[in-house]
Amino acid sequence: MSRPSSKRLYAVGTSLWLLAAIAVFTFDGPLARYDVSHIPGDLRRLVELSEVFAHGMGVGMILVTLWVLDRDRRLFVPRVALLAYLPGIIANMCKLLVARYRPAGFDISADAAASFVGIPGNTESWELQSFPSGHTATAVGLALALSSLYPRGRLLFAALAVLAAAQRILFDAHFLSDTFVGAGIACFVAAVLRDHMFWDASDPRA
């Protein structure tokens, strides 16, 4: 029995993340009300620093590191960059279509549905650009690209993406469902690009 293609897995992942975003919507409010001071200091600091895996500058430093340390795979660095940055760009474009309060600017005692305030979105106020999470889209896209290039690190890259998403939630930048939609966008981009830009990562000459 043949294994499903990566493209199909990414497509399925897109659907699952979007469905999960709907399923967890009821948890948006309770998570937004969680007090991060209850998290032990060192663990809280780890989560806070994990934003680097999802931030444009942090991704740039990772790309430079790949370029310097893995000369045989330098050809793939632009492809990793594309799969990391493009989902984040698409997510940020989606913010222009749907306005949603970030937890930091929302009355978290209210129903989470009230955080959606209109179509089209808002181009001026950071507080109204919660949906979806561009940072999470970037982190998941980067994790997918690095996992294709370095399969042994899949669990590590996945963990870094999860920590980056957790940082967005616990520090009131996004609701849980925002991060799930961001992950879905990254899987969608990976599914679309798979046949056009991905590689046999086991062969440095690919």
- Could you tell me the two tokens for 182? 């961001």
Q: Is residue 206 part of a domain?
A: no
d(CA 174, CA 165): 9
Q: Is residue 64 part of a domain?
A: yes
**Tally of domains within the chain:** 1
Q: Is residue 76 part of a domain?
A: yes
Cis amide bond preceding 132, omega within 30:
yes
What confidence category does residue 4 fall into, taking pLDDT thresholds of 50, 70 and 90? low
Cis amide bond preceding 103, omega within 30:
no
Share of the chain above pLDDT 70, in %: 91
CA within 13 Å, CB half, 43: 7
Q: What is the pLDDT of residues 22-71, one digit of tens each?
A: 999 999 988 888 877 778 888 889 999 999 999 999 999 999 999 999 99
d(CA 27, CA 169): 11
Q: What is the pLDDT of residues 105-140, one digit of tens each?
A: 888 888 888 899 888 777 778 888 999 999 999 999
Q: Is residue 44 part of a domain?
A: yes
Q: Is residue 203 part of a domain?
A: no
Residue 204 pLDDT: 46
Based on its alpha-carbon atoms, the radius of gyration of the chain, rounded to whole angstroms, reads 17
Please give the average per-residue pLDDT across 60-89, as a whole number: 96
Q: What is the mean pLDDT of the chain?
A: 88
Residue 18 pLDDT: 94
Q: Is residue 119 part of a domain?
A: yes
Q: Euclidean distance between the first and final Cα of the chain, in Å?
A: 26
Please give the average per-residue pLDDT across 17-24, as a whole number: 94
Domain that holds residue 33: 6-197
d(CA 183, CA 135): 9
Beta-carbon count within 10 A of 57 CB = 8
Q: Is residue 112 part of a domain?
A: yes
Category of 16 on φ-ψ map: left (φ > 0), alpha (ψ -120 to 50) or beta = alpha
Please give the average per-residue pLDDT across 183-189, as a whole number: 97
d(CA 185, CA 206): 27
Report whether pLDDT(145) > 50: yes
Question: What is the pTM (predicted TM-score) of this model?
Answer: 0.89
